[in-house]
Structure 1
Amino acid sequence: MKILYHHRIGSKDGQFVHIAELIRALEQEGAEVVVVGPRSVEQQSFGGETGFVSALKRWLPRALYEVLELAYSAHDYRRLRRAIAEHRPDVIYERYNLFFVSGAWARKRFGVPLLLEVNAPLLDERSRYGGIALRGLARWSERQAWRGADHVFTVTSVLAQRIGREGVPLQRISVTPNGIDPQQYLTLPVRAEAKCRLGLDGRLVLGFTGFVREWHGLESILDLMAQHPDLNLHLLLVGDGPARPALEARADTLGVADRVTFTGVVEREQVPSHVVAFDVALQPAVVPYASPLKLFEYLAAGCAIVAPASENIREILTHEANALLFDPEKPAQRAAAIVRLATDESLRARLGEAATATISELGLTWRANAKVVLDVAEQSVDRRSERAATREATGEP
């Protein structure tokens, strides 16, 4: 199976991780993968973004930037056309982006089946967090991409239902959550050793990985630490983000700065050795359709997890079984769950063991996802061949 992997990401972050891990898993399953996407992302350090694109976002009027996003599809279509002619892929596998319709155009022009991976309803997301100037054009581009695909892969059932409401039949949608590579967790140190390596031995470590934003609400964790000095809590933040300066200032104000570690951006291969040091892993606020990459890292590392009881999270976690869940509208429940875990070592151990087992029980690995993708790809190729044979038999153009 030859797959043309098509994307438009410009930042080396969680999106890049997803792409790299799935491509590797597809190749491990015997597929040949050809990538068509911005080459600049490969040269960036982890956590970086293309400087030119960042500058455009900052300085151009929003409407003009969105027109340029769509215009990129025309430029990209020419590259995609050349790649199809050169490599003759069996299918195109595309990571969805807003104003990105070149894959749908190529599918219509060349008849190559298009498999579309959707990680977020980006029109909704950008409208809420950044703003959309050309909403009608954005909505048109989103529908072109979603409805123009032969099959859609979503990271949660919540997102699958959202896309179904836009006219994509549910039988053409498969749910493939984020995952992990179990091999990366086989040789990790035990928790006590991991904490010792990080200079945190003797502490009860609360951990978070990823890009730290204000809406994660991590300032309340600092408040909790200040309120419970007897629990010997230490907050380990593996990553960086716009909320870091405010968190550092609050930690100073509360007198807990010596019990907070900000690692800054950590290379991907080093993340598991940090996560395994977490006694309690924090999944704070989450958008309702997301499949947080950090959640699967927490599971694989055998952490006791505290997470919101939103519908998308409950697709993976069950309260009291493999995590403690809290009502997102009642932050006091999160604090109570953390205190409960901090004071109950046996509960931490039980939830941690169940977390590790969840990976195999639900098949939360990149290779499991790759197998689903390849199965759908083979079915799509077969249907294309059947349609071609029917046209030939009936004389249809």
Structure 2
Amino acid sequence: MRVALFTETYLPHVNGVVTHVKALKEGLEAMGHTVLVVTANSKTRKHYIKDNVLYCPAHKASKRFYGFDLAPAVSRTRLHFVEDFDPDIIHIHNEFGIGLSGIGIAKILHVPLVYTLHTMYDEYIYYVAPRPLVGITRRISHKYFKIFAKTANEVTGPSAKCQAYVKETGLDKLVNVIPNPVELDIFSPEQITEEDKRAFRERYHIPMDDTIAIFVGRLGREKSVDVLLDFWAKEIRPDDHLHLVVIGDGPVRGELENQAQELGIAGMVTFTGKVEHTDLPPYIASGDVYVTASLSDTNSISMLEGMAAGLPVLQRYDELNQDQVKEGLNGFVFHDAKEMAAELRRVRAMSEEELQLLKASVRQSVKNSGAQNLANYLCTIYTRILSRDDQETK
């Protein structure tokens, strides 16, 4: 098959969508399929293809809105490049200029369309709308994003949350739930030495005896790191020997650092700032657990990277994501500060043998989350669409 993947953001940027598209591209190519990634690039003034990626002229969006490069939705040049590629399937991963152009090009070329919903946009309304306008902005956004799901032959998403969101937009359409991928080899704990872990603790002045809880993500309000800090202040004490490490940067980092100071827990919390993805494995592997209070994620790739490193997950209860953490097998769920603290203390109290068994179980839970499995899942959907189209044309 020849597959064109449309994404507003791609390498060298790194985020959940980029990781997903990169893994899908690699998985499909390993199976012998031909892939063209179509993406926006604010650093070019003309369309060009390099390493099977079509770069399209774009403008840099506000850093507040994730700093995406945004390309115009209509481009005759882009159409010609994709037409020359002659795709069997067009698969869109974002909902802005590049995504809209994927819809248009699919119609013009009479090519089936697949749409993956990666983001619960209701959680991001505050980036673009003042509080009094949140309600009307949400209703408008639902109508807009409904276009993508309605137009596509098939819709996919990494969790049941995506089905709920599509339904909330007013569309009764099945969402194929396909979990996100993770780079298992890169985050394997065997890649990280005890010396690497010791160096991490020394760099950030974390006592060797402390149990480290890691969170990785863009520091926006939707990630609920403020909730983690509140919970930490309510229940964790210095003599618990528990330390929270927050990895990442974003618009509310300053607010969060101030919050930790005001709550009197700055000595138990470390903010590392931005860490390049290539440098991330030793940071994650130096932790003992991965903790998140976010209710905006669908199937967090950062969480999966923690699991790939063997870190059990402490996840705040989320009804639509409750199947992602299986109690005692790959982590634990908490509802409030008291439960979070109890789970952290439970992990800390484990013997070395118990902890190693749990870490092995965590790794086992994501062993089928690599690029090849993602490609296999999507190929099943692509083939189903193409077979259906063949039947309809007979």
TM over 0.5: yes
What is the distance in 2 between the residues matched to 1:136 and 1:310? 23
1:386 aligns with 2:384: no
Unaligned runs of 5+ in 2: 45-57
What letter corresponds to residue 223 of structure 1 in structure 2? Answer: A
What letter corresponds to residue 14 of structure 1 in structure 2? Answer: G
Partner of 2:216: 209
- How far the C-alpha of 1:154 sits from its partner, in A, is 0.7
- How far the C-alpha of 1:192 sits from its partner, in A, is 4.2
Give CA deviations for 1:36-58 in whole Å, capped at 9, x if unaligned: 2202389xxxxxxx873218979
Partner of 1:81: 79
C-alpha RMSD of matched pairs (Å) = 3.2
What is the distance in 2 between the residues matched to 1:56 and 1:197? 33
What letter corresponds to residue 300 of structure 1 in structure 2? Answer: A
1:334 aligns with 2:340: yes
1:17 aligns with 2:15: no
- How far the C-alpha of 1:368 sits from its partner, in A, is 0.8
Which one of the candidate residues 15, 38, 44 is aligned to 1:36? Answer: 38
* Mapping of residues 172-211 of structure 1, within 5 Å: 173-186=175-188, 188-189=190-191, 192-198=194-200, 199=202, 200=206, 201-211=208-218
- Is the CA contact 2:161–2:321 (under 8 Å) kept in the aligned structure 1? no
- How far the C-alpha of 1:371 sits from its partner, in A, is 1.0
Percent of residue pairs identical: 21
Which one of the candidate residues 310, 319, 322 is aligned to 1:302? Answer: 310
* Mapping of residues 223-302 of structure 1, within 5 Å: 223=233, 227-252=236-261, 257-287=266-296, 290-302=298-310
- How far the C-alpha of 1:249 sits from its partner, in A, is 3.2
Partner of 2:157: 154
What is the distance in 2 between the residues matched to 1:245 and 1:150? 43
- How far the C-alpha of 1:341 sits from its partner, in A, is 2.0
What is the distance in 2 between the residues matched to 1:79 and 1:157? 37
Unaligned runs of 5+ in 1: 43-49, 59-68, 391-397
What is the distance in 1 between the residues matched to 2:27 and 2:162? 23
Compared with structure 1, are the counterparts of its residues 129 and 338 closer, same or farther at alpha carbon in structure 2 (3 Å cutoff)? farther
1:167 aligns with 2:171: yes
- Is the CA contact 1:239–1:264 (under 8 Å) kept in the aligned structure 2? yes
The TM-score with structure 1 as length reference comes to 0.79
- Is the CA contact 2:158–2:177 (under 8 Å) kept in the aligned structure 1? yes
- Is the CA contact 1:188–1:272 (under 8 Å) kept in the aligned structure 2? no
Compared with structure 1, are the counterparts of its residues 236 and 308 closer, same or farther at alpha carbon in structure 2 (3 Å cutoff)? same
* Aligned residues between the structures: 360
Which one of the candidate residues 351, 357, 363 is aligned to 2:358? Answer: 351
What is the distance in 1 between the residues matched to 2:64 and 2:323? 38
Compared with structure 1, are the counterparts of its residues 319 and 174 closer, same or farther at alpha carbon in structure 2 (3 Å cutoff)? same
Compared with structure 1, are the counterparts of its residues 250 and 342 closer, same or farther at alpha carbon in structure 2 (3 Å cutoff)? farther
- How far the C-alpha of 1:269 sits from its partner, in A, is 2.0
- How far the C-alpha of 1:31 sits from its partner, in A, is 1.9
- Is the CA contact 2:41–2:59 (under 8 Å) kept in the aligned structure 1? no
Structure in which a larger fraction of residues adopt strand: 2
- Is the CA contact 2:232–2:337 (under 8 Å) kept in the aligned structure 1? no
Which one is further off, 242-251 or 274-283? 242-251
- Is the CA contact 1:231–1:342 (under 8 Å) kept in the aligned structure 2? no
Which one is further off, 248-257 or 108-117? 248-257
Compared with structure 1, are the counterparts of its residues 233 and 117 closer, same or farther at alpha carbon in structure 2 (3 Å cutoff)? same
What is the distance in 2 between the residues matched to 1:384 and 1:30? 22
Give CA deviations for 1:139-195 in whole Å, capped at 9, x if unaligned: 44322211111111111123124425643542xx32112121222134644574442
- Is the CA contact 2:2–2:35 (under 8 Å) kept in the aligned structure 1? yes
- Is the CA contact 1:23–1:33 (under 8 Å) kept in the aligned structure 2? yes
What is the distance in 2 between the residues matched to 1:168 and 1:80? 32
What letter corresponds to residue 9 of structure 1 in structure 2? Answer: T
What is the distance in 2 between the residues matched to 1:267 and 1:277? 16
Partner of 2:228: 218
- How far the C-alpha of 1:29 sits from its partner, in A, is 2.5
